[in-house]
Amino acid sequence: MKPKQQQGPIQGDRCGICVPIVGPSIEEILLQVQKAVQAEVDLIELRPDMWMKSSNISEDEYIPTIVKLVEEVHSRFADMPMLFTWRTLAEGGETPISSENYGHLLQAVVDQDLVQAIDVELFAYTDAIGHIIKQAYQQGIQMVMSYHNFQSTPDIEILHVYAERMVSVGAQVIKFALMPSTNDDVLSVLRLTKELTEQYPQLPRITMSMGQLGRMTRTCGNVFGNCVTFGTLGPISAPGQVEVAVLKQLV
């Protein structure tokens, strides 16, 4: 087991740029990672729920296939920090997976020990996943706990309750991605970011208001304490993502 890292790829004192890797084939995945490396971004997000969407393989084959793909990416681009994310259908993902296999997949990636950070959805959390989080922590893998809502922006009081739950189960980074209906919703996300920064100054935060209406939060959220913004070099993984070249000038 490698020694525990003192710092993961997501830190609270700056805003990093992350590129989602969403290609449907190993060739396209590797090409997207290569472009991210050339663009000198801070980290990439591996999104196998998007890889598997058009793979025509059974769910039983997901885990060995994904483990092999992660190994391939690492073998070619070992210096690029990786955030591993399987986004469930309930929170905007592209491919269904059972709750049991979601846990098995996270366990397999932690056991593989090649990524620097891993995403766990708050509402997918179970006691079994809690054990995976503890193992990841011991191995120095940074744990991002997330909540996504592609329909609306809940009241800020509810979001604070979610943040408290994330912290209570061991999150090392907390993430909120919310869909606005009004400009007040966009302001609510910026206010949430500021309040989380004040409440948990030691804990990195990732926040965004999605879609065209919320796009400005991806370029100015760092002013309020956002620590990662997701940028595109072509394919996107969520509505409203901004080109990396633009982000490099603004964050």
248 catalytic residue (yes or no): no
Question: C-alpha 230: how far from its chain's center?
Answer: 9
The string of DSSP letters for 176-220 reads EEE--SSHHHHHHHHHHHHHHHHH-TTS-EEEEE-TTTTTTHHHH
Catalytic annotation, pick one of 4, 74, 104, 148: 148
Q: Which residues on neighbouring strands pair with residue 147, listed in sequence order?
A: 176
74 catalytic residue (yes or no): no
What are the backbone dihedrals phi and psi of residue 169, each rounded to the nearest 5 degrees, phi first? Answer: -105, 10
The string of DSSP letters for 104-125 reads HHHHHHHHHT--SEEEEEGGG-
**Residue 187 CB coordination number (10 Å):** 14
Exposed / middle / buried, residue 79 (Cβ in 10 Å: 0-12, 13-18, 19+): exposed
Instruction: Please give the C-alpha separations between residue 213 and each of 11, 52, 216, 228, 236, in angstroms, as whole numbers.
Output: 27, 30, 8, 19, 16
What are the backbone dihedrals phi and psi of residue 83, each rounded to the nearest 5 degrees, phi first? Answer: -105, 120
Residue with tokens 């939060």: 217
- With CA atoms as reference, report the closest residue to 29 among 80, 95, 63: 80
Catalytic annotation, pick one of 74, 131, 175, 194: 175
Q: Catalytic positions, please?
A: 148, 175
